[in-house]
Structure 1
């Protein structure tokens, strides 16, 4: 069973309806002027056109279109010359078929050939007078141009639909890439936090842990040295030894918890980023904040992390800065981030926003924030970001 889309059926019905209108204008005249045999041939030819128009275009091969054109054109001419002049009217649906189904310049060649043959036969056989031939020729040309225009419009529609589908697919791929980028950023952020916490835990363990261990060893030695001393001195040593052991156990527990915690957000990943960048570049970097940490949502932490990452990258690329200073503070109705360096740029230099600054601006705009940047006196670059506190509260990232 032939499965056709509604769109395809509508297109073919439109062409068939157009052809039927043309043929129906001829059938009454054929019925009145032709013999029963001639009229029967007209009906057969009419249904041949209906069949070729109804068959799906996808079922045809290019050479089959041309073969059908030659057969239908020859049959129509033969009918007109030898079986009633009314058969020349069948050339009008032929013009529609040629205009819609034949490719490129070959369509014009076929239409011109059969149009010229029909005109010559009409004139030479005195079937129509010259004043009647001209309207017929104009109608023939109109049928061809109309069908050709419909074909071009249809092809343009298909092309636009294909482009639209490609754009939708590209949009979907971009959304997926954006999601993957966000996940990668979060993973990078979590790795940075984990590395920073591990470093802090190692430093605490190596410094304070070793010191307490040494203290415990010395207290043990002191305990044996005071075995024959006053009772209260031995008691004091036992108490100090107990406190030192308890402190060492607590530090080890805290260090283990600190090293294993992978979920914290806020300012910790920002400090980790600056710490790693300073380690690899030698540029002094510090983060200043009136609070030890500011709890942020995952989205805001990623946003601040990417902004800071982009700002540090721009500084490394475009200036000879020796220091980068980052300030984050929670104000009455907003959260403020300021990033500045001591690079070569001066107020007299023109700042042209590149891909980095444009990307930062887009991120801030999505959060309804504001962005400003300028060259500071006497030299260096400063970037200020302000995010409204209302948005942060809706995101659940801030607690006041």
Structure 2
């Protein structure tokens, strides 16, 4: 918009002012000439090709020079209007070729105006007797100086506009990339939330099965023992008293199992706490009485919830196998943070032969297969070191983008 204001202002404002100095009988033809110049200036808005614009600029320059030859240097503003526009719109050699043509045409038009009384013819004798102190010479020098200054300002403005356009283009690209990254991050967070929900659902299913299989069967057994104790107490009080103590122990164990299951089923507002490896080891040590060790190596950094879930489920599976099949008395969990990978190593002092034999069985084999599938889905792998101590290693690649969460 500022370019158009300046273009039309340079064209119309001086033209209107000059019309006040003309005789009334000359105003009609003068107005017609100005309308032609304005039409050529407006025609640039309807052209897009470089050749068409160059031809229109050339026609505008020549018409402006014709007005200078007719009415004098006051009409130089029409030429400056065209100069201001083509310095911005034309590129490379075309811009400077147009400037050369305009400078030559303006000087010829000035010479025609000052050398002929009619304003259309020049005197060849005056061309040989050039007077450096004449009005025409001074005006020509001033006009050329004004053209040079205007050209320098327009060129500087065009360079600044081009640089600004490039910066805006780069900014738009960066903004688009930023939006793409935000969308990808939102999708990753959504995927992590879905994976976390699936893991919680699986955990609830496992706990409900545990409630049914362990606590339910224990309660049934307790009920049967209570009925037997009712029959035994009147005849054999001592034996009946022992049975009542066994019932009490069974109920106490059932209450403990129920309490632990409810704690695990309760929603946790911090997903990282729900899948904390140190808490898992603490619960295992408290429930089983074995010795547990937890070590962290490297500079710890936040992990995706999906990575935390995979590490937690693999750790739980490895610890369960160590207790059930290896009869381990001590379990050590090491978590190693590296720039591009996180590694979890779970070792135990249990029977290596029993663990290897159990790995080939149906139930535990499926457990190891589930560990491998979960880890491979995250782009990692699971390794088994069969030597003493028996060690299960989980490696999951990470990236610097994970640290942004």
* Deviating more after overlay: 124-133 vs 246-255: 246-255
Cα separation, partners in 2 of 1:182 and 1:17, compared to 1, 3 Å? same
Give the structure 1 partner of residue 277 of structure 2. 271
Give the structure 1 partner of residue 156 of structure 2. 149
Give the structure 1 partner of residue 95 of structure 2. 107
Q: CA deviation at 1:98?
A: 2.6
User: Residue by residue, what CA displacement relative to the aligned partner does 1:289-334 show, whole Å, maximum 9, x if unpaired?
Assistant: xxxxxxxxxxxxx95876995994635977998569xxxxxxxxxx
Equivalent of 2:48, from 40, 53, 61? Answer: 61
Structural RMSD (CA): 5.3
Q: How many residue pairs align between the two structures?
A: 296
SS in 1 for 2:275: helix
Give the structure 2 partner of residue 74 of structure 1. 62
Cα separation, partners in 2 of 1:44 and 1:105, compared to 1, 3 Å? farther
Indicate whether 1:230 and 2:222 are aligned: no
CA–CA distance in 1 between the matches of 2:14 and 2:280? 80
CA–CA distance in 1 between the matches of 2:79 and 2:339? 77
Matches within 5 A, 1:262-341: 262-263=267-268, 265=270, 267-271=273-277, 309=308, 312=335, 314=337, 322=345
Q: CA deviation at 1:223?
A: 6.7
Runs of at least 5 residues in structure 1 that lack an aligned partner in the other structure: 1-7, 276-283, 289-301, 325-353, 364-400
CA–CA distance in 1 between the matches of 2:142 and 2:152? 15
Does the Cα contact within 8 Å between 1:219 and 1:237 map onto a contact in 2?
Answer: no
User: Residue by residue, what CA displacement relative to the aligned partner does 1:231-251 show, whole Å, maximum 9, x if unpaired?
Assistant: 757976996798689779868
SS in 2 for 1:230: coil
Give the structure 2 partner of residue 164 of structure 1. 171
User: Residue by residue, what CA displacement relative to the aligned partner does 1:140-199 show, whole Å, maximum 9, x if unpaired?
Assistant: 233334334333433433443444344444444444544554454455455555555655
CA–CA distance in 2 between the matches of 1:272 and 1:192? 19
User: Residue by residue, what CA displacement relative to the aligned partner does 1:271-306 show, whole Å, maximum 9, x if unpaired?
Assistant: 39978xxxxxxxx98559xxxxxxxxxxxxx95876
CA–CA distance in 1 between the matches of 2:251 and 2:292? 36
Give the structure 1 partner of residue 7 of structure 2. 15
Matches within 5 A, 1:194-205: 195=202, 199=206
SS in 2 for 1:137: helix
Does the Cα contact within 8 Å between 1:223 and 1:234 map onto a contact in 2?
Answer: no
User: Residue by residue, what CA displacement relative to the aligned partner does 1:9-33 show, whole Å, maximum 9, x if unpaired?
Assistant: x4422333344566578x37x946x
Runs of at least 5 residues in structure 2 that lack an aligned partner in the other structure: 116-134, 282-290, 296-300, 312-333, 348-396
SS in 2 for 1:314: strand
Does the Cα contact within 8 Å between 1:72 and 1:94 map onto a contact in 2?
Answer: yes
Give the structure 1 partner of residue 319 of structure 2. none
CA–CA distance in 1 between the matches of 2:248 and 2:137? 124
Indicate whether 1:137 and 2:144 are aligned: yes
CA–CA distance in 1 between the matches of 2:213 and 2:110? 110
CA–CA distance in 2 between the matches of 1:306 and 1:146? 59
CA–CA distance in 2 between the matches of 1:153 and 1:216? 91
Which structure has the larger Rg? 2
Give me the TM-score of the superposition, normalised by structure 1: 0.51
Does the Cα contact within 8 Å between 1:201 and 1:259 map onto a contact in 2?
Answer: no
CA–CA distance in 2 between the matches of 1:137 and 1:64? 27
Q: CA deviation at 1:117?
A: 2.9
Q: CA deviation at 1:123?
A: 4.3
SS in 1 for 2:96: helix
